[in-house]
Structure 1
Amino acid sequence: MLAYATATVPEWTTRNPADFGVAMVEMLAYCLDNVSYYQDRLVGEAYLGTATQRSSVLEIARVLGYTPYPAQAATGTVTLISDETQTDDVLVPAGTQLVTSFQEAFQGPLIFETLADATVPKEGGTAEVAIVEGATQMTSTITLVFPSASSQVVSVVALSQSTGAADQKFVVPNRPVDLSTIRLFALYPSGPVEWVVTDSLLDATSDDRVFETWVGADGSVTLTLGDDVNGSVPEAGLELMLAYRVGSGSRGNLAANEVTDVASIVPGVTVLSSSEMTGGWDPESTDSIRRNAPRAWGTQDRAVTTRDYADLALSVSGVDKAVAMAGSAALVTVFLFGALNSPPSQGLLHSVTQYVQERSMAGTTVVVQSGALVPINFGSTTDPIDVGVMAQYRRADTVLVVTQALQKLLAPDATSFQQRVTIADAYAAVHGLPGVLYVHIPVMARADQTQTGTTDVLCREWEVPVAGAINISAVGGV
């Protein structure tokens, strides 16, 4: 701008920073630099590879037709025991709430609920019942009556009142929400009528009572109703009621005996013990969405190559890794894992099989099963990793840092099917860590093979590497 001023206003020759004209030019340059930055960011947010905001990545994935897998609640079992003085069996109804001990990470206890009715025998008898992390929200109940004359009582909260308009949107009041528990009801004069969740309103007819869910970058859940073309619209003035459970994610993965008390009022029953709580995971990470969304789009809803079969499997919510193998054109086997390398449930295996089979070539049978995890050990009990610790560092802290670095090398987000792990990868992971003077790794081997040497570990097509035993011997330091 100063060069341009020299050409257009030659009589203005001062370049003193204190000059009013120079100050104005610098201020304008500052403002235009900000504008240029935001223009660059706007362009960057339009592409998966350069977007920095999770909201942008989610919207791009939505355009590609990819649904990121949601958070899932941890499950386990609890053993209930009756008091010795209890003279009658005690019925513990489904939905009974239990609480954990104080959780540092959560700054409080977590709530779990029983998944089925359980009868605890009298006089010190015990009963085991399945539980899930979360708390069902309830301000009232509604009764559903089915054609068979059977009925079901559902705990609900008031959501809003239908305006009768198309594309109504409602935000679920609390978070994190277990998406699998969401149910929506409209209170007609004749009784409650349920709207059910659908993957896409575009697949619905004008008579279908359905709604879509959308999980935002902040974890909030939005429900979208139809427009009387794709999905029915509840009549104006109808009260909308919502059933859902709050609670999901990896926070619910707890050690055994962390569930300690019955929170609901159930006289004469206490918690004897609880199993390890597993299966809880957080929503799909932004990096995982970047990796999987383009693959799902590339298949164009049909499977020809084995990569197509794997990419289609990734389109099913809950699948984080997938690979396909074909011994012949008539049989394709798809191996997969859920979030955090978790084994897929039977329900997920069935969903993937049905989804992929419908899009496969004529005459091809699709078999879907869990992949295999291959633990890789670093060091052995007789020949551990040798770590030299700098003088001012604690040995225990340095050993922990090295252990965590090797675990991170084989973390779920960093691994894939048929991966090759080299000793160079291991040394790169621990190089330059705080407190580490030197490291010598004498053993790196699959847990199912001889524990000697440091040759490359090559996983088979259906295998994914994970961190196994890590044996470290530290010298020096404090």
Structure 2
Amino acid sequence: MAEIKQANRQAIIDYMARDYDSLLRSMRALIPDKLPEWTEYESEADFGNVLLQLFAHMGDILSYYQDRVANESFLGTAQTRRSIIHHLRLIGYKLSTAVPASTKLKITLTVPDTNNDIITINKGNAFATKSQKDKPSVRFEYTGDQPLSIDFSAVPIVANKKHFEGMIPVEEGRLVKDEILGTSDGAKNQKFLLAHPGLILRSLGLGQAVNKDIILLTELGGTTEEWTLQESLAFSREGQKDFIIEIDEEDRATVIFGDGVFGAIPPGGAVIKVTYRAGGGLHGNVAANTIQTIVNTPQLALLGAKVTNPEPATGGADRETIEHAVMHAPSVFRSLRRAVTAEDYKALALDFKGVGKVRAEPTNWNTVTLSIAPEGGGQVSDVLKANLLAYFEDKRPLSTIIEIEDVDYVKIYVTAEIGVQSYYSREDVKEKIKGAAGRLLAFDNVDFAQIIYLSKFYEAIEAIDGVEYVTITEFRRKPPPIRPDDPGKIQLGSNEIPRIPDDPEDGPEYVGGIKVMIKEGGS
């Protein structure tokens, strides 16, 4: 509370407490000395009291804004995404945008008399999952720079069907082609806002754009010029046709050109067009055999072809959170974006969106092996692998070879026999137990070489309301270890990550967490 103190025979107000009540009380405490003739200041009907309340209210508001400004001035205390973006820009760190999931599609053609048909799949041809009542469809597109041709005359007919064995790589998202940003006025540092939020923007290598989806052109007098995306214009020379992209706190992307000294200025009157992809996010990590709709691939649709994804889509990730950026940015800054030690490789790989977990290990004098778990789990897709290798191209020593491999997922099987108190729903308690156990093995809560303790499952289950007693009768891993585990813990290997069983063939009762058996005879 604000107090009026005496220091050197002068009244000093404690400004550390600046809420409405303390400010009002402090002003009233000054009245006897400053305005002794005012004796009715505590009356609600006194107009002077109304003014004091208004001043206290205004002081409270100003104090709040002062505190917010002070907090947002430091990386460690900032709360808004906008402030975090500006702070990290000082050390050259950009918050990552959402990353699209990727998978491969298999084509089945049921028409037997199409031996001479050659199907061409172009960039932007789309497929999708089926929409549901509470879950919209997810769009996937072929993103290859070159058209993909399929000669069905070379595909054998089996059971009146043709199965194209070569998979079609697809990524979640939508291609926005030839969007007109505007017309250049010849001024310095021109800025143009993209119409669609959620730009897919991968990390860039030195002087090169890893993300080939962003193509910017200027057209003037029948002449078309292509511009190059850079991370910064600081190294762009006069007349060099470069541009940068900045992403704000609402995921809106702005194209920024140079000033004629650092990067060229688009000539006045030039029409600016851009092609890019928008999308990304965890919602793209769809299950296997869910992408079955042909959206805009006319040749396949006319032939009555069917598509599906034999493997789940992986690698999709939401935009980087400010908590992750504050924690992770200092390690990236310390590495100077150069990969020398194993920790440098790990920090830089984690900076690449779509990568969930990383283990870096030098396996030879000039070889570093990165064990990668995509965001949300699963195996490393060819798209993620290629982008990650390109990302490290200007960060690794010239003689260093980077190898990327999948992690080893270990299924943890737990069976719990429980007693449920009579006034609790057995099904509700069962679901809560499966959820609590599942969180212990959730992808975000586990890591390499982790020790899984039996006691943690007892602790999580016993904390649930309605559980009278619990006995865990099964606690094992699959595949089994080379050496028997301690009965009370499971020690994982250096390249192993625990996971929840998700294959019904292993027992549908395990899916989603643990197997729960309710014993009769609860109170």
The interval holding the TM-score normalised by the smaller chain is 0.7 to 0.9
Q: Secondary structure at the match of 1:47?
A: coil
Q: Of 79, 94, 100, which aligns to 1:52?
A: 79
Q: Secondary structure at the match of 2:239?
A: coil
Separation in structure 2 between the aligned mates of residue 214 and residue 300 of structure 1, nearest angstrom: 21
Deviation at 1:184, TM superposition (A): 0.7
Tell me which residue corresponds to 2:319. Answer: 283
Q: Secondary structure at the match of 2:304?
A: strand
Q: Does structure 2 retain, via aligned residues, the 8 Å contact 1:90–1:269?
A: no
Tell me which residue corresponds to 1:152. Answer: none
Q: Does 1:269 align with 2:313?
A: no
Separation in structure 1 between the aligned mates of residue 66 and residue 364 of structure 2, nearest angstrom: 51
Separation in structure 2 between the aligned mates of residue 431 and residue 57 of structure 1, nearest angstrom: 40
- TM-score, normalised by the number of residues in structure 2: 0.73
Q: Does 1:170 align with 2:201?
A: no
Tell me which residue corresponds to 1:160. Answer: 182
Separation in structure 2 between the aligned mates of residue 307 and residue 87 of structure 1, nearest angstrom: 54
Q: Of 89, 97, 108, which aligns to 1:62?
A: 89
Q: Does 1:204 align with 2:236?
A: yes
1:8-407 matches, within 5 Å, as 8-14=34-40, 15-74=42-101, 75-81=103-109, 83-84=111-112, 88-94=116-122, 95-107=124-136, 109-115=137-143, 116-121=148-153, 125-127=162-164, 129-138=168-177, 156-179=178-201, 180=211, 181-264=213-296, 265-266=298-299, 268-275=302-309, 276-279=311-314, 280-301=316-337, 306-316=342-352, 318-325=354-361, 335-341=371-377, 345-351=384-390, 353-358=392-397, 365=400, 367=402, 369-370=404-405, 372-375=407-410, 377=412, 379=414, 384-391=415-422, 393-407=424-438
Q: Does structure 1 retain, via aligned residues, the 8 Å contact 2:75–2:326?
A: yes
Deviation at 1:69, TM superposition (A): 3.2
Tell me which residue corresponds to 1:143. Answer: none
Q: Does structure 2 retain, via aligned residues, the 8 Å contact 1:322–1:335?
A: yes
Deviation at 1:98, TM superposition (A): 2.8
Change beyond 3 A, Cα 1:270–1:172: farther
Q: Does structure 1 retain, via aligned residues, the 8 Å contact 2:239–2:260?
A: yes
Change beyond 3 A, Cα 1:434–1:201: farther
Q: Does 1:6 align with 2:32?
A: yes
Q: What letter corresponds to residue 250 of structure 2 in structure 1?
A: D
Ranges in structure 2 where 5+ consecutive residues have no aligned partner: 1-25, 202-210, 502-509
Deviation at 1:111, TM superposition (A): 2.8
Q: Secondary structure at the match of 1:354?
A: coil
Q: What letter corresponds to residue 192 of structure 1 in structure 2?
A: T
Q: What letter corresponds to residue 400 of structure 1 in structure 2?
A: E
Q: Secondary structure at the match of 2:140?
A: strand
Tell me which residue corresponds to 1:144. Answer: none
- TM-score, normalised by the number of residues in structure 1: 0.79
Give the stretch that moved more between structures: 53-62 or 338-347.
338-347
Q: Does structure 2 retain, via aligned residues, the 8 Å contact 1:71–1:248?
A: yes
Give the stretch that moved more between structures: 19-28 or 326-335.
326-335
Separation in structure 2 between the aligned mates of residue 224 and residue 100 of structure 1, nearest angstrom: 36
Q: Secondary structure at the match of 2:234?
A: helix
Structure number with greater Rg is: 2
Give the stretch that moved more between structures: 51-60 or 286-295.
51-60
Q: Does structure 2 retain, via aligned residues, the 8 Å contact 1:92–1:120?
A: no
Aligned residues: 451
Q: Secondary structure at the match of 1:137?
A: strand
Q: Does structure 2 retain, via aligned residues, the 8 Å contact 1:386–1:441?
A: yes
Separation in structure 2 between the aligned mates of residue 336 and residue 85 of structure 1, nearest angstrom: 44
1:266-322 CA deviation, whole Å, 9 max, x = no partner? Answer: 363234240144122222233221221121122345567654453344455555544
Deviation at 1:192, TM superposition (A): 2.1
Deviation at 1:236, TM superposition (A): 1.1
Separation in structure 2 between the aligned mates of residue 35 and residue 420 of structure 1, nearest angstrom: 51
Deviation at 1:102, TM superposition (A): 1.1
Change beyond 3 A, Cα 1:316–1:393: same
Separation in structure 1 between the aligned mates of residue 252 and residue 132 of structure 2, nearest angstrom: 23
Separation in structure 1 between the aligned mates of residue 323 and residue 409 of structure 2, nearest angstrom: 23
Q: What letter corresponds to residue 210 of structure 1 in structure 2?
A: D
Q: What letter corresponds to residue 228 of structure 2 in structure 1?
A: V
Q: Does structure 1 retain, via aligned residues, the 8 Å contact 2:98–2:353?
A: no
Give the stretch that moved more between structures: 214-223 or 9-18.
9-18
Q: Does structure 2 retain, via aligned residues, the 8 Å contact 1:323–1:335?
A: yes
Change beyond 3 A, Cα 1:449–1:331: same
Q: Does structure 2 retain, via aligned residues, the 8 Å contact 1:80–1:120?
A: no
Separation in structure 1 between the aligned mates of residue 39 and residue 517 of structure 2, nearest angstrom: 71
Change beyond 3 A, Cα 1:366–1:438: farther
Separation in structure 1 between the aligned mates of residue 450 and residue 32 of structure 2, nearest angstrom: 62
Tell me which residue corresponds to 2:10. Answer: none
Deviation at 1:185, TM superposition (A): 0.8
Q: Does structure 2 retain, via aligned residues, the 8 Å contact 1:371–1:464?
A: no
Change beyond 3 A, Cα 1:20–1:390: farther
Q: Of 508, 512, 515, which aligns to 1:471?
A: 515
Ranges in structure 1 where 5+ consecutive residues have no aligned partner: 139-155
RMSD: 3.6
Separation in structure 1 between the aligned mates of residue 171 and residue 268 of structure 2, nearest angstrom: 36
Separation in structure 1 between the aligned mates of residue 293 and residue 367 of structure 2, nearest angstrom: 51
